[in-house]
């Protein structure tokens, strides 16, 4: 296993759309393992492959308190959504920045697991928010893209100032 480098906003690679995984292979499983280790070390509750500069439709999520409930979604698709929830979000690619974002309260997602088996999952609350946030990364979208241009510009200035320190 390896700790991968997490891209930082406003890196343009975070706005690229990820490719479908054609076949779940040992390389795919290794990437999943490395992503999980990277997410736990960061620490975070979700990570998408584009955040570690791999343009593949893979996300890992673990919202458990003890980091013992890893969920893997390969080629995830939201097939149903319901309700609205506003939640304060942060992102490993936008460190130290939090904003209130509206998402669906409940979702149904279809994906492949790390063995290539199709599954469906109904999620609500924080799990639903986290899955939607990570799927956004697969589509080239970062949570700050939901904010106004002025707020995004302020965030970019703050992040650039932080890297100079």
What whole-number percentage of the chain has pLDDT above 90? Answer: 94
Judge whether 6 lies within some domain: no
CATH number, domain of 50, equals 3.90.45.10
* 115-152 per-position pLDDT tens digit: 999 999 999 999 999 999 999 999 999 999 999 999 99
| Three-state SS sequence of the chain | CCCCCCCCCCCHHHHCCCECCCCCCHHHHHHHHHHHHHHHHCCCCEEEHHHHCCCECEEEECCCCCCCCCEEEEEEEEEEEECCEEEEEEECCEEEEEEEEEECCEEEEEEECCCCCEEEEEEEHHHHHHHHHHHHHHCCCCHHHHCCHHHHHHHHHHHHHHHHC
What's the pLDDT score for residue 160?
83
Judge whether 51 lies within some domain: yes
What whole-number percentage of the chain has pLDDT above 70? Answer: 98
Judge whether 136 lies within some domain: yes
Identify whether 134 is a catalytic site residue: yes
What's the pLDDT score for residue 164?
62
* 78-105 per-position pLDDT tens digit: 999 999 999 999 999 999 999 999 999 9
What's the pLDDT score for residue 162?
73
Judge whether 97 lies within some domain: yes
pLDDT band at 161 (very low <50, low <70, confident <90, very high): confident
Domain extent for 154? 12-164
Q: Domain total for the chain?
A: 1
Judge whether 42 lies within some domain: yes
Judge whether 1 lies within some domain: no
Judge whether 5 lies within some domain: no
What's the pLDDT score for residue 163?
67
pLDDT at 165 over 60: no
From the candidates 65, 120, 122, 134, which is the catalytic residue? 134
């Amino acid at each position: 296993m390896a700790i991968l480098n997490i891209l930082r906003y406003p890196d343009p690679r975070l706005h690229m759309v990820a490719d479908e995984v054609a076949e779940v292979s040992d390389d795919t499983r290794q990437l999943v393992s490395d992503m999980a280790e990277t997410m736990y070390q960061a620490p975070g509750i979700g990570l998408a492959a584009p955040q570690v500069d791999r343009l593949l439709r893979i996300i890992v999520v673990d919202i458990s308190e003890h980091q013992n409930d890893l969920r893997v979604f390969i080629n995830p698709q939201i097939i149903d959504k319901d309700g609205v929830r506003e939640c304060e979000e942060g992102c490993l690619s936008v460190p130290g920045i939090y904003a209130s974002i509206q998402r669906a309260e409940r979702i149904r997602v279809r994906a492949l697991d790390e063995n290539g088996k199709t599954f469906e999952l109904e999620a609500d609350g924080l799990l639903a928010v986290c899955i939607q946030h990570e799927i956004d990364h697969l589509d080239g979208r970062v949570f700050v893209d939901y904010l106004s241009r002025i707020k995004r510009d302020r965030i970019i200035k703050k992040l650039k100032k932080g890297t100079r320190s």
